[in-house]
Amino acid sequence: MAEIVPADKALDRALALLGAGEVVAIPTETVYGLAGDATSGGAVARIYEAKGRPRFNPLIAHVCDLAMAERIGVFDPLSRRLAELFWPGPLTLVVPLKADAGIHPLATAGLDTIALRMPRGFGGKLIAALGRPLAAPSANTSGHISSTSAGAVAADLGSRIKLVVDGGATPVGVESTIVKVHDGKLKLLRPGGVAAEEIEAAIGLKLERGAKGIQAPGMMASHYAPNAAMRLRAVSVDQGEALLAFGATRAKGAENAAAVRNLSPSGDLREAATNLFSFMLELDRAGASVIAVEPIPMEGLGEAINDRLARAAAPRDMEAAGE
């Protein structure tokens, strides 16, 4: 079983494991990541193995500063500006991969682009101390709910990894926003922890949502799947259903729900994002076969929340390649 060590005591042990090509679960501001040396084929293979993740689904390389990022990827002026504005933080930039970047091809699934992100907190310190980028997908079994606490990581992956670094509950709660500059336009590949409106306001450019379907290779329809079925935009609760609530007004029949969690009683979308995955897990554990979900507005972090809920509710036979 994995050892859970508080972040302020874990740096040396994490460094030793990473240096030996092992994987370590670490806190980031978005969700917990399952980290390994991005330059080591063995370490990257261990990440895919521990998650049961299809190898055609590339990983984000995490860096500790812009200099490290620019040794790996080619930054056009807009991507650089975004990095300067939002790093460290919950924004991932997809840029062309440099030929001599040193990233193991397994981490990029052979693509000629790379997803880069500079995380806040423990991850940044760890990467600086290691002196190499860390490949890190969310620390969950492929297709499961992303982990927002060390306990959730240990419950899901504990038998397959040696160390979970405990940095407490992750403050943002949903994964990073992924964007890519293409032909001078900015494409949103995955809504996430930075609201699209915030990016648009900062750079004065509209984000393109692009065609429907798979945006990032790992964005399969069914993902984040709890055991229970999810019923979205519920205005009433049926007999035996659990309820994932939002805001001050309740769905009809809420008083009879098998269990209730309110993402944000005051209707704050940031608070709702922070609570999303842990409340989904808690309702799932309560044992109801259906989780009814009240409507969540499509603004700010609501876009990422609705994206994750839609994937959690998607038919499971589409679960070909979760993250």
In the list 5, 91, 114, 134, the residue contacting ligand TXA (rule: CB under 6 A) is 114
The DSSP call for residue 65 is S
- The pattern of x and - marking residues 166 through 205 that bind ligand TXA according to CB under 6 A reads ---------xx-x----------x----------------
Among positions 304-323, residues that touch Mg ion (CB under 5 A) are: 323
Among positions 110-149, residues that touch Mg ion (CB under 5 A) are: 138
Minimal distance, residue 140 CB to ligand TXA, in Å: 8
> Nearest Cα to 106, choosing from 44, 22, 20?
44
39 binds Mg ion (CB under 5 A): no
101 binds ligand TXA (CB under 6 A): no
- Within 10 Å of residue 266's Cβ, how many Cβ atoms? 9
Q: In angstroms, rounded to a whole number, what is the distance separating the alpha carbons of residues 265 and 206?
A: 31
3-state secondary structure of 187: strand
Output the six-digit token pair for 201.
């306001």
Among positions 257-276, residues that touch ligand TXA (CB under 6 A) are: none
- Nearer of residues 30 and 262 to Mg ion, judged by Cβ: 30
> Nearest Cα to 193, choosing from 64, 60, 284?
60
30 binds Mg ion (CB under 5 A): no
Output the six-digit token pair for 271.
């608070």
- Within 10 Å of residue 21's Cβ, how many Cβ atoms? 15
Minimal distance, residue 109 CB to ligand TXA, in Å: 7
Residues ≥6 apart with Cβ < 8 Å to 159: 1, 2
136 binds ligand TXA (CB under 6 A): yes
Among positions 15-34, residues that touch ligand TXA (CB under 6 A) are: 28, 30-31, 33
Report whether 55 contacts 110 (CB < 8 A).
no
60 binds ligand TXA (CB under 6 A): yes
Contact region with ligand TXA (CB under 6 A), list: 124-132, 212-220, 284-292, 311-319: 212-220
Residues ≥6 apart with Cβ < 8 Å to 231: 241, 290, 291, 292, 293, 313
- Binding residues for ligand TXA, rule: CB under 6 A, are 28, 30-31, 33, 57-60, 90, 92, 94, 111, 113-115, 117, 119, 136-138, 175-176, 178, 189, 216-219, 323
- Binding residues for Mg ion, rule: CB under 5 A, are 138, 323
